[in-house]
Amino acid sequence: MEDKCVRCGRIVPWICFLGNSTLTLFKIYIGYVSGSKGLIADGIHSGTDVIATLMVIVTLAISGKKEDKTHPWGYGKAEFLGAALVYMVLLGIALLILYDAVEVILSGQIHPPHIIAFFGALVSIIANYILSGYGFCAGRKLNSPAMIANANENRADLISSIAVLFGIVMANVGFPILDSLAAVLVGLIIAKTAIELGIEAFKSLIDESLPMEKRGLIEKTVLQYREVKGVNYINARRVGHEAWIDMEIFIDPKKTVTEGHMIAREARAALMRRFAQIKEVNIAFTCKETPNEKHVVSDSPEEAAHPLANLLSIFTGGRHGRVKKT
């Protein structure tokens, strides 16, 4: 991974924090002065982005700690926990925005906002476009779920600002209710984002496996070696922005245990070179014999001649072994 991407990833949360903080104060003030419910709701939305960014900063600091005896898989789950908390906060804010907007609509006290609100929404659209693009770039390069969650927040803010801009314009040409309806739309957008991405974060917390396409790439990489006759299973779990892989491959029944270890080591090395996000790979190997073949688990003729080795072959039906990082 390029050093510039790592450096960029360290400063992106702080840039988003400053940007979202400024947008929050700016939009709430302009919304209050202009009388735009939609822009005030959008400002509150930016406020949730500030909370999200703070959580990203904290969770990245935790997940960046090295693994130790008490946490052998590291602290990467902190990123998924942070993302889940962000979406819970978002859902709560969405419900408050919806309640306030619907209350105004039902009261019938609706007035078109001042045109200055239009410029406030326009500034928000431009700023969120820049912030979301910056966040997605760093998040995808570093494979960070917390950064991607924060970038999704800015993208949702961008969409809601477009809706608010439309509502402000229409309210000033004779449809004043559309400003409040824009606030309702903002609340629905926030709620939808929170529910969908919150579910994804929760799945990662309970060790959901990697997507099928990524597991397919892992299998394809291993099968490039002709000594690997097939893949029995691939078990994968994400720990923050890294993945841990356990898998079992099939090898030729005529191979010795030592040869099996060599094949597994080569396959492991290929995966570590191919996928930068893989933290560790444990590869077991086995083989299936035909009914007419019987092979003894051995590394040498002397070992094969031992009665215990012959008994072990009967129960295992082939060779078994495991290779892992040493």
Domain shared by 176 and 30, yes or no: yes
Domain shared by 217 and 181, yes or no: no
Domain shared by 59 and 107, yes or no: yes
Burial class (CB in 10 A: 0-12, 13-18, 19+), 311: exposed
For the beta sheet containing 278-286, the strands, ordered from the edge strand earlier in sequence to the opposite edge, are 228-239, 242-251, 278-286, 320-323
Q: What is the pLDDT of residue 295?
A: 42
Give yes or no for residue 306 having a pLDDT over 60: no
Give yes or no for residue 129 having a pLDDT over 80: yes
Report, as an integer, the average pLDDT of 244-266: 85
What confidence tens digit (pLDDT) does each residue in 35-64 have?
A: 888 888 888 878 877 877 777 677 667 666
Q: What is the pLDDT of residue 125?
A: 93
Domain shared by 21 and 136, yes or no: yes
Domain shared by 260 and 302, yes or no: yes
Domain shared by 97 and 232, yes or no: no
Tally of domains in the chain: 2
In which band, very low, low, confident or very high, does the pLDDT at 30 lie, cut at 50, 70 and 90? very high
Q: Residue 37 belongs to a domain with what CATH number?
A: 1.20.1510.10
Domain shared by 101 and 26, yes or no: yes
- Secondary structure letter of residue 176 according to DSSP: T
Q: What is the pLDDT of residue 240?
A: 57
The residue from 205, 222, 256 where one domain ends is 205
Report, as an integer, the average pLDDT of 170-182: 85
Domain shared by 167 and 230, yes or no: no
Q: What is the pLDDT of residue 303?
A: 42
Report, as an integer, the average pLDDT of 150-172: 85
Which residue segment(s) compose the domain that 276 sits in? 212-323
Give yes or no for residue 270 having a pLDDT over 50: yes
Specify the range with the lowest mean pLDDT, choosing from 66-80, 160-174, 296-310.
Answer: 296-310
* DSSP H or E run through 97: helix 77-107
Give yes or no for residue 161 having a pLDDT over 80: yes
Q: What is the pLDDT of residue 60?
A: 67
The residue from 172, 205, 238 where one domain ends is 205
- Crossing angle for the helix pair 116-142 and 37-63, to the nearest 10 degrees: 20
Instruction: Give the 3-state secondary structure of residue 240.
Output: coil
Q: Residue 271 belongs to a domain with what CATH number?
A: 3.30.70.1350
> Phi and psi for 235 in degrees, rounded to 5?
-110, 125
The pTM of this model reads 0.55
What confidence tens digit (pLDDT) does each residue in 61-111 have?
A: 766 666 666 665 666 666 677 777 777 877 888 888 888 888 878 887 778
Domain shared by 178 and 227, yes or no: no
Q: What is the pLDDT of residue 289?
A: 54
Domain shared by 180 and 75, yes or no: yes
Q: What is the pLDDT of residue 313?
A: 40
Q: What is the pLDDT of residue 316?
A: 40
The residue from 138, 173, 205 where one domain ends is 205
Domain shared by 69 and 154, yes or no: yes
CB 210 within 8 A of CB 225: no
Q: What is the pLDDT of residue 71?
A: 63
Mean pLDDT, the chain, integer: 76
Domain shared by 138 and 259, yes or no: no
For a pLDDT cut of 70, what percent of the chain falls above it? 74
Report, as an integer, the average pLDDT of 21-39: 90
Q: What is the pLDDT of residue 22?
A: 92
